[in-house]
Amino acid sequence: MKNIYFVIIISVISVIYLLLNAYVYHRANVALPNKMARNTFAVLFWLCSVSFLVGQFLERTPWVNLTTVISGIGSVWLALFFYAFLFVLVIDIFALLHRLTSLLPVSFLEIATPFRLFVVVAVSTISLVTAGYINARYPTVNEYEVRINKQVAGKKQLTVALATDIHMGYIIGNKRLSDLVSSLNAIEADVIIFGGDLIDHNMVPVTYHNMGEILSQLQAPLGVWAVTGNHEYIGNAESAVDYLSRYGIQFVRDTVVNVQGIQLVGRDDAQKINFTQINRKSLETIFEQVDSKLPIIVIDHQPLEQDRVVALGADLMVSGHTHQGQLWPFKILTKLIYKIEDGLVQKNNTHLYVSPGYGTWGPPVRIGNRPEIAVFRLVFD
């Protein structure tokens, strides 16, 4: 029954996607000047449109190299289509308003011919997505000082590097992963934390390209730690954890680990219940293992239950998941869903941090936000 629901949902989403593509295609096609231009455009448009759906199907096959190419084209197309759709929708809204109110001056209408509008939309969309593609490939390193009113034997301060939402797989491959490892090692952090969604969801390209071997090159005296994210559960969380653990990634799953006086409280992702029918442990249950006299860092992929974290006396909570919307204007949506969807906020003695993440989901594009690695200089007073 669950598989039937999944097929129905995927089918509905695919039909909606194709209908929206058809809307953009029709509005663009009527603007082209001749049959040859329309035929050429039709072939290119629908090959790109279908490549996204074909890529999603191929991701469930062992044809890794073919899938990488087609998924890459389809993922970039998804961003191009999305912004083309927004531009076309805005044009049609203004056209409708003009029919009702004669809003636009005659001089503008003489200039804004259908073909000129097509060129403006095409150039604007390609330029915007190209800029977003470049932006996504060059993450920033953001540093924060966090003062904790607790003592740690033999330590006055500690450096923690946080990277969330890597989404390694078909889109985030070995080159991007190697760049991440180099950046993290250059920070010379005492502790490295992965805040969930280390894997996009599919283990096939991860194992095929032996990405774990790249992660094994990470260097941190106090270890490399991680929690599960929703994308680990969309795939197979147990397989992901088992594979990554072989390469030095230590998962903290609904428990507490003491790392030389620093307590890491790691939580399984909130969506665990949807994929395993097993709920994650409550914060209160996990905190029964905590020594309140020592620094407490909570790692939870999704920025949820922050008020409870504050009430329980954690010193720092780090999360990801939001991508800060990844593609504008989705940032508006993430701000509505989450109390804190980006940045560092202090409530009482607890510092709450939400990272926009390092990688991308879907389109390898970021518009309106920057990918990052966050570095925390913990100072113990």
DSSP string, 40-70: HHHHHHHHHHHHHHHHHHHTTSS-HHHHHHH
> What whole-number distance in Å separates Cα of residue 172 and Cα of residue 156?
37
Structure token digits, residue 356: 């926009």
348 contacts 263 by C-beta, under 8 angstroms? no
> What whole-number distance in Å separates Cα of residue 210 and Cα of residue 375?
27
The kind and range of the H/E element at 140 are: strand 140-148
| Domain ranges for the chain | 2-135, 141-380
Residue-level pLDDT at 253: 97
pLDDT at 109 over 60: yes
Residue-level pLDDT at 212: 97
First to last CA, the chain: 56
Smallest CA-to-CA distance from 201 within 177, 234, 171 is with: 234
Structure token digits, residue 134: 């470049």
> What whole-number distance in Å separates Cα of residue 324 and Cα of residue 132?
14
Residue-level pLDDT at 61: 87
Radius of gyration of the chain (CA): 24
Residue-level pLDDT at 285: 97
261 contacts 155 by C-beta, under 8 angstroms? yes
Residue-level pLDDT at 3: 64
Confidence of residue 60 (pLDDT cuts 50, 70, 90): confident
CATH topology of domain 141-380: Purple Acid Phosphatase; chain A, domain 2 (3.60.21)
pLDDT at 2 over 80: no
119: CB partners within 8 A, 6+ apart? none
pLDDT at 153 over 90: no
> What whole-number distance in Å separates Cα of residue 166 and Cα of residue 200?
7
> What whole-number distance in Å separates Cα of residue 229 and Cα of residue 242?
15
Residue-level pLDDT at 103: 84
343-347 vs 350-354, strand pairing mode: antiparallel
Determine whether 132 is exposed, middle or buried from the number of CB atoms within 10 Å of its CB (0-12, 13-18, 19+): buried
CA atoms within 13 A on the CB side of 217: 15
**Residue 291: what residue type?**
D
Backbone angles phi, psi at 259, to 5 degrees: -110, 90
What 3-state DSSP class applies to 141? Answer: strand
Q: What is the mean pLDDT of residues 146-169?
A: 94
Packing angle of the helix pair 2-29, 35-58 (nearest 10 deg): 160
Each residue's pLDDT tens digit, 296-319: 999 999 999 999 999 999 999 999
Q: What is the mean pLDDT of residues 325-330?
A: 96
Indicate the length of the chain as a whole number.
381
Each residue's pLDDT tens digit, 225-241: 999 999 999 989 999 99
CA atoms within 13 A on the CB side of 180: 32
> What whole-number distance in Å separates Cα of residue 327 and Cα of residue 333?
11
Quickly count: other Cβ atoms within 10 Å of residue 133's Cβ: 17
Buried b / exposed e over 319-350, threshold 16 CB at 10 Å, is bbbbbbbbbbebbeebeeebebbbebeeeeeb
Determine whether 89 is exposed, middle or buried from the number of CB atoms within 10 Å of its CB (0-12, 13-18, 19+): middle
Percentage of the chain exceeding pLDDT 70:
99
**Residue 220: what residue type?**
A
Buried b / exposed e over 286-296, threshold 16 CB at 10 Å, is bbeebeeebbb
Residue-level pLDDT at 7: 78
Confidence of residue 352 (pLDDT cuts 50, 70, 90): very high
